[in-house]
Homo-oligomer: A and B are copies of this chain.
Amino acid sequence: MSEHSPLLPVPRSAELLATDAHPLVRRGRPALVDPATLAACALDLFVEKGYAATRLEDVALAAGVSKGTLYLYFDSKAALFAAVVRQGLVPALAGGEALVDSHRGSGADLMRELLWGWWRLIGATRLGGLPKLMVAEARNFPDIAELYHREVMARGCALIGRAIDYGHARGEFCVAGDPCTVQAVMAPLLLRVLMKHSFGCVDHAAPEDDPSAAAQAESTDIAAAIEFVIRALEHD
């Protein structure tokens, strides 16, 4: 049996794992690429075309390496996909957790900051393609779905749940942060980002050709969606 999960990156030589302070002398040809770059290129293509329709040859081409090189860093296409998910979303959660810990104002303001932060960091960036990718492929990759569920969804839900509980404890919100409420709170933004990356449309009457006007309309929509869920939390 292999020493590492088939979904984890292939370990490179020990030198690459050494600290920068003591870069052990290396022999052989220096690496031209690093796994993070490959995963970043793969993210773009996975998000744009979906998992099945993304050819490893295109990922390699985008990263400026050959197809064979991919297999030096990732055991398989699925392992590359796992790396994309892990590298893309897990780091984005820390910021939100710090925000909830340090907040002192109203629950509504905390919720606004959290949801706007999520939108800026994930919804409005290419990372927004990952939720759609996971919805599309979770059934085909139970291991990766489990990773996503555990490392991303569970942590994210706990985060939002704590924010709702915060407002509830202050008497501002009429419900506690149970999973069902958390899902209802995230739903409008999540659905919007899913639509954006699948149908490519967001179904409002904004002009498609003027990018600044579209961005303006998007901000208005996000604000409306956020205020919508805050109304639901605050009622009475």
Give residues in A with beta carbon < 8 Å to B.
Answer: 48-50, 52-53, 132, 134-140, 145, 149, 153, 157, 174-175, 178-181, 183-184, 186-188, 190-192, 194-195, 197-201, 203-205, 221, 224-225, 228-229, 231-232, 234-235
In the bound complex, do residue B49 and residue A200 qualify as a contact, i.e. CB atoms below 8 Å apart? no
Name the residue of chain B whose CB is nearest to the CB of A224: B180
A221-B180, A231-B231, A232-B232 given; A203·B153 CB < 8 A: yes
* Chain A residues touching B, majority SS: helix
B contact residues around A228 at 8 Å (CB): 175, 181, 184, 232
B contact residues around A180 at 8 Å (CB): 204, 221, 224-225
In the bound complex, do residue A138 and residue B179 qualify as a contact, i.e. CB atoms below 8 Å apart? no
In the bound complex, do residue B198 and residue A188 qualify as a contact, i.e. CB atoms below 8 Å apart? no
B contact residues around A178 at 8 Å (CB): 204
**Residue in B135, B179, B191 whose beta carbon sits within 8 Å of that of A136 in the complex:** B135
B contact residues around A179 at 8 Å (CB): 203-205
Query: Given A52-B52, A228-B232, 13 more contacts at CB 8 Å?
Result: A49-B140, A50-B136, A50-B139, A53-B140, A136-B136, A175-B228, A179-B204, A183-B195, A183-B203, A186-B191, A187-B190, A229-B232, A231-B235
In the bound complex, do residue A137 and residue B50 qualify as a contact, i.e. CB atoms below 8 Å apart? yes
Interface centre among A49, A132, A197 (most CB of B within 10 A): A132
Shortest C-beta distance, A220 to chain B (Å), equals: 8
A234-B235, A235-B231 given; A139·B200 CB < 8 A: yes
B contact residues around A181 at 8 Å (CB): 224, 228
Q: In the complex the two chains form, what is the Cα distance from A174 to B198 in whole Å?
A: 31
